[in-house]
Structure 1
Amino acid sequence: MDLKKESLKLSISVFLALLFTILLIFFPRGGYYGEIPMNLNDGAFPGFQLSLFFEVYRTNITEFFQHIWEHRSLGETMFTQTSVEQEIVRYYPKSLLIIVIGFVISIIFGVLKGIFDYRNTYTKKNLLGNGTTWLFQSIPDFFVVIIAFYLAFYYLPMGLIFSNQNWYSFAAPALLVSIYPTMYVARMTCVSLLNQDGQDYIRTAFAKGFKVKQVINRHILRNSALDLIAHLPTIMMVVISNMLMVEYLTGYAGAGNRMFVALGGRQETVGFGTTSIEAGLVFGYALCFIATVLIVHIVKMILLTKLSQKGV
């Protein structure tokens, strides 16, 4: 593994992610700028002053970073006595707990599900194996969450499951977050195992009298570990994207839910030019999500380097 090349690619990816985040957050909102008054005499239609648009765009970005430089803070929130840093410290650890649990569940049960799918590919149990994997990958995540809400509302004590007042309030969102990435890992593991099936070293292992379980654990799964490790950042990004949606739908008091509020998702006044966002808070949470994916990417690079040195 070429560390210099991977480090360069990682640096470029982080830079582009930050650039896209900044451009998206500080995109000028509202209908008061860039409009040319309508001239009813000549029938002209209101146009858009591109120069004024970019001037507002530039001002939004420069004023924000100027505030960071002068005050060493990302700014205030809608609550005047609460800073962005305080909101991040308050909400992000709750979301990080969901992210970590969902990530671990996805890896462990995804690999086990992938092995089950592989072993039953050519049997009648394939419907429970690859069939269910395909099904949950095809169904939108929000639909799965809605079904879970329906079942909880009619058959389970919903107030106990989705309440923020209980110490285990993270459990239900973490499980919902892990459904799609688990199936993603299962599919990836099954494909990796099938690609090795029938190779010489596999036939040799069976010829020596090893059982299927032993061959999978000692040979096939070890080689498939490289594929799994290479996809760790992707799995983390899937978990984070699911977390944003699940927190909003379940009402979990985490960073995803708070970020939606910061984007103006629950304002009483709705209309063009009336929605305002807490740009500093959105930028702060975006940094946290990018940093989380970056850490996983660095872990991936370290693991791949060690495995390549061992000749795996």
Structure 2
Amino acid sequence: MNIKKETFKLTASVIAALIFMVLLVLFPRTPNFQLTTTVEMQEFGMMPFFQEYKANLTNFFTHVKEHKSLGGTRFSQTTVEQEVMRYYPKSLLVIALAFIISITLGLYKGIFDYKNKHSKKNFLGNGTTWLFQAIPDFFVVIIAFYLAFYYLPMGVIFSNKNWYSFAAPTILVTIYPMMYVARLTSASLLHQDGSDYIRTAFAKGNKIKQVIKGHILKNSLLDLVGHLPTIMIVVISNMLMVEYLTGYAGAGNRIFIALGGRQNNIGNGAGDIEAGLVIGFGLCFMATILIVHIVKLILLTRLSHKGA
């Protein structure tokens, strides 16, 4: 693997994503001009729009340069950095746990699916994997709410006041990426199933557990490492949805408020968004994915050297 080429591609992707995010967030949403006649529209064209867009960009970067801050929030005494430090660590706990659990359990689930592909247990294997991948994530959350409301103390499970408030969102966030990892693992194992060295291992009297552990799983882990950033993206996208639906006090829930959702009486109006805060959380998400990319490159480099 060409580490320099991969590093250059990763750097270019990060820069492009940063530029796109800032341009998108600062895009004018409430035009402060009105053109009432066709003559005025022909005369002015799109100039007022571009002037407002330019003003948004200029004001944002000027504030960053002068105040060394991404700006304020809807709360007059709170800065973007304070809100990020308040909410993102809570989401990062959910993200880290869901990422680790989904990889660990997904790996075992994928092995189970592979081992039982031709047995009656295939329904519990590939059947459940397919089912949870086919069901929309929000539907799983709705089912969890239904079960908690009728059979469990919902106020305790989904409350933000308890130290274990991260547990329920973590479980809900883990489900889809775990099945994604299981599908990757099972597909990788099946891809190697007919290889000569696999048939040779079986011919020597090795059981399927020994063949998987001693031969197939090593190559499957290499395939899995290549998908680590994708798994992290799936985890973060799930986290945004789950936090919003469950009301968990993390970055995912707060970013929806910053974008204009769940309006309250505090703020500048339903049409305003907290652009600096959206950019701040976006930078945190990108940094998390970037770290996973770097870990992927390191692991692939070491595994490639071992393979050589």
User: Do both share a fold (TM > 0.5)?
Assistant: yes
CA contact (8 A) 2:101 2:174 kept: yes
The residue type equivalent to 1:134 in the other structure is W
CA contact (8 A) 1:267 1:275 kept: no
CA contact (8 A) 1:37 1:46 kept: no
- Residue of structure 2 in register with 1:291 after alignment: 287
- Residue of structure 2 in register with 1:191 after alignment: 187
Out of 106, 112, 118, which is 1:110 matched to?
A: 106
Structure 2 Cα separation of the partners of residues 25 and 49 of structure 1 = 23
CA contact (8 A) 1:237 1:293 kept: yes
Structure 1 Cα separation of the partners of residues 30 and 204 of structure 2 = 72
Deviation for aligned residue 1:45: 8.8
| Misfit runs of 4+, over 2 Å | 44-49
1:84-124 deviations in Å (ceiling 9; x for gaps): 11111111000000000000111001011100110111112
* Structure 1 pair 47–136 and aligned structure 2 pair: CA distance change class (3 A): farther
Structure 1 Cα separation of the partners of residues 42 and 210 of structure 2 = 72
1:20-53 deviations in Å (ceiling 9; x for gaps): 21121101011433x41136xx9x9999832221
Structure 1 Cα separation of the partners of residues 43 and 105 of structure 2 = 55
Deviation for aligned residue 1:287: 0.2
Deviation for aligned residue 1:242: 0.4
Structure 2 Cα separation of the partners of residues 67 and 210 of structure 1 = 67
Deviation for aligned residue 1:10: 0.4
Structure 1 Cα separation of the partners of residues 20 and 122 of structure 2 = 42
| Residue 153 (str. 1) matches residue 169 (str. 2) | no
The residue type equivalent to 1:170 in the other structure is F
CA contact (8 A) 2:260 2:270 kept: no
Structure 2 Cα separation of the partners of residues 252 and 306 of structure 1 = 38
CA contact (8 A) 1:36 1:47 kept: no
- Residue of structure 1 in register with 2:17 after alignment: 17
* Structure 1 pair 31–128 and aligned structure 2 pair: CA distance change class (3 A): same
- Residue of structure 2 in register with 1:252 after alignment: 248
1:124-159 deviations in Å (ceiling 9; x for gaps): 211111111111111111111011001100010001
| Residue 100 (str. 1) matches residue 99 (str. 2) | no
Structure 1: gaps (5+ residues) = none
The residue type equivalent to 1:112 in the other structure is Y
Written as runs of structure 1 = structure 2, the 5 A alignment for 1:49-68 is 49-68=45-64
- TM-score of the pair, normalised by structure 1: 0.94
CA contact (8 A) 1:30 1:274 kept: no
- Higher alpha-carbon deviation: 302-311 or 48-57: 48-57
Structure 2: gaps (5+ residues) = none
Deviation for aligned residue 1:81: 0.8
Structure 1 Cα separation of the partners of residues 278 and 20 of structure 2 = 13
Aligned length: 305
Deviation for aligned residue 1:300: 0.1
- In structure 1, the residue corresponding to 2:262 is in which secondary structure? coil
- In structure 2, the residue corresponding to 1:93 is in which secondary structure? helix
Structure 2 Cα separation of the partners of residues 81 and 54 of structure 1 = 31
* Structure 1 pair 268–206 and aligned structure 2 pair: CA distance change class (3 A): same
Deviation for aligned residue 1:266: 1.6
Structure 2 Cα separation of the partners of residues 306 and 165 of structure 1 = 44
- Residue of structure 2 in register with 1:85 after alignment: 81
- TM-score of the pair, normalised by structure 2: 0.95
The residue type equivalent to 2:181 in the other structure is V
CA contact (8 A) 1:26 1:60 kept: yes
Written as runs of structure 1 = structure 2, the 5 A alignment for 1:123-134 is 123-134=119-130
- Residue of structure 2 in register with 1:170 after alignment: 166
Out of 204, 208, 218, which is 1:208 matched to?
A: 204
Structure 2 Cα separation of the partners of residues 47 and 251 of structure 1 = 48
| Residue 76 (str. 1) matches residue 75 (str. 2) | no
CA contact (8 A) 1:114 1:188 kept: yes
Structure 2 Cα separation of the partners of residues 72 and 245 of structure 1 = 31
Written as runs of structure 1 = structure 2, the 5 A alignment for 1:237-276 is 237-268=233-264, 274-276=270-272
Structure 2 Cα separation of the partners of residues 258 and 63 of structure 1 = 23
Deviation for aligned residue 1:11: 1.0
- In structure 2, the residue corresponding to 1:133 is in which secondary structure? helix
Structure 1 Cα separation of the partners of residues 203 and 47 of structure 2 = 74
The residue type equivalent to 2:50 in the other structure is F
